[in-house]
A and B are shown apart, each in its own frame.
Chain A
Amino acid sequence: DAGVTQSPTHLIKTRGQQVTLRCSPKSGHDTVSWYQQALGQGPQFIFQYYEEEERQRGNFPDRFSGHQFPNYSSELNVNALLLGDSALYLCASSLGIEQYFGPGTRLTVT
């Protein structure tokens, strides 16, 4: 049974560019949540998708947007990248209360 998968594992972008990160949930899970983790900090909630709709959103600017597809996979898009967007981006999938994380995408903005 495959767990949560994310791609790519690492990414280097330049300020002002746009990036798309991808997530496939654990088999049977229908909800995907995205988190940003800066070095030395706990993950911060970006948003959650359920039934292809954004169900809940954290305190992140509109530059962060997402999408969920009919097969429950999801994308996170970040526009106009800033140096401060450098972080580990984690996707978590769930069917009920417990959330399970993928290995993350490490984004570096130069």
Chain B
Amino acid sequence: RKEVEQDPGPFNVPEGATVAFNCTYSNSASQSFFWYRQDCRKEPKLLMSVYSSGNEDGRFTAQLNRASQYISLLIRDSKLSDSATYLCVAHGSSNTGKLIFGQGTTLQVKP
């Protein structure tokens, strides 16, 4: 079983739609979680950090359920520019150590 699992998609949605990505992690000792966005052939960019039950930043909402070891990312009012791969990430047992990445979920927003 992979340490961080995501549905690779692709998710194809129209502009203005609401889309949700789910992610599960296996290490119950992980304390910090992140969503990174990665455009084609570019580096991952930090989108949101999730340390407690959730975080909201504009159109983006991340939620964490420690009991179920589950993280989600909700994108409201999708824009064409949201098209990218979204990586679910967990810290290992140490909050300053390695990041464990999921495979990534591809989102394509269409006009």
Measured CB to CB, the residues of A under 8 A from B are 31, 33, 35, 40-45, 48, 50, 55-56, 58, 88, 90, 92, 94, 96-104, 106
Contacts and interface: CB of A to CB of B under 8 A. Distances in A.
B95 to A, nearest CB: 5
Contacts of A58: 98
Given A42-B103, A48-B98, 8 more contacts: A31-B96, A35-B101, A41-B103, A41-B104, A58-B98, A90-B44, A97-B49, A101-B44
A92 to B, nearest CB: 8
A1 to B, nearest CB: 15
B32 A103 contact: no
29 contacts: A31-B96, A33-B99, A35-B99, A41-B103, A42-B4, A42-B102, A42-B103, A43-B44, A43-B87, A43-B101, A44-B101, A45-B98, A45-B99, A45-B100, A50-B96, A56-B97, A56-B98, A88-B41, A94-B96, A96-B96, A97-B51, A97-B91, A97-B95, A97-B96, A99-B99, A100-B46, A101-B43, A102-B43, A103-B42
Contacts of B32: 97
Interface of B: 4, 32, 34, 41-46, 49, 51, 87, 89, 91-92, 94-104
Main secondary structure of the interface of A (DSSP, over half): strand
A96 B34 CA distance: 14
B59 to A, nearest CB: 21
A106 B43 CA distance: 11
Contacts of A31: 96
Nearest to A101: B43
A35 B44 CA distance: 11
A104 B97 contact: no
